[in-house]
Structure 1
Amino acid sequence: MSKVLGPWQQLSCHQVYENPWLRLEHHEVKTPANTDGIYGKICFKNIAVGIVAIDDEGYTYLVKQYRYPLAQDSWEIPEGGCPLASNPLDAARRELLEETGLSAGQWFALQNLHTSNSVTDECAEVFIATGLSQGEQYLEETEDIQVARLPLTEAVAMALDGRITDAISVAALLKTHILLSQFNGVTKDFFASMPAVS
């Protein structure tokens, strides 16, 4: 059964592969130019959550972990997956604690984004966490993580010079930096302007 999707027409959709985290679909389509075509779509069963954790001294926390698909280490903000029917803030709290051992007293919604919208429907919700207290990490068996506490400005520099390439991290750090600069780096005024979530 065909379906109109904006200027595209989906003629058919077949599942090619599925695992607990994603599904790969093969679509036969009519393109906006009215030509026959194909489209591969990766459908995620989770949304991504990311956390820019900022302590009272203006430091943030990055994690370094080996990313199997890239075959290399990656510096990132704490991130993880949230099942579609679950609360992203609860997942963000869990991921921050698991990866860094940190708990946060205040949470702010920073942004929603699409991670790679030409091939996947995956979206991400990113939060800022403040009022931090240190506890113990609870890493999953697939995680071998190194945590770094560094000035937020240094993390932003890493996003700008290519040491951080993870899209969620780059977007989150740069947006945080731009928003903070509107308050001359005064975090108290910045957080007073942000929408708190609970």
Structure 2
Amino acid sequence: MTKPHVAVLDYGSGNLRSAVRAMERAGAEVTLTTDRAVAQEADGLLVPGVGAYASCMAGLREVRGHEVIGRRLSGGRPVLGICVGMQILFSRGVEHGVETAGCDEWPGTVERLQAPVVPHMGWNTVEVPEGSSLFAGITDERFYFVHSYGVREWELETNNRTRAPLVTWAEHGGDRFVAAVENGPLSATQFHPEKSGDAGAQLLRNWVQSL
């Protein structure tokens, strides 16, 4: 049986080696690439991300990754964003008073967490909605987070013609934020599944097996 082909988008941000190894362990054939054609044609596209929102968006635009993401999604081809790779899928990010336009696949603002201690660093539980495919077979587990910013309000409106996205939430210091989203071909996690032990490995296997 042929393994699904996953392209890991190299736009100068993210724990690329960890992402590649995690995808391989999850059962995928993996290519680390800046090539738009390779990223476009793979069975799945992984968009990592670490660091500042503005610099990640600048790197993404430099390799025209935002176009690749948009074209894949318009054709129903799966994309998975991780950490800042999730954040850039929203409309905008605000850091230190500077607003940066994102990919605008989902409405919403990435902003500083309103918690006594920031960054949010370490293991945390998540609130998973019923029917989740990403979290299938995973219950009462913790995932590894490293971030100071997040999406604190889910803004996408749905209607009777479209299936509502599945939004997973987490809480840090009394502040709730989006921990994961499943929306048709587009999925994302604020936490790092590649650093989240057996639970994270199962989540990545679930995604790879869905390709």
TM-score, normalised relative to structure 2: 0.25
TM-score, normalised relative to structure 1: 0.26
Q: Flag the structure with higher strand content.
A: 1
Largest Rg, 1 or 2: 1
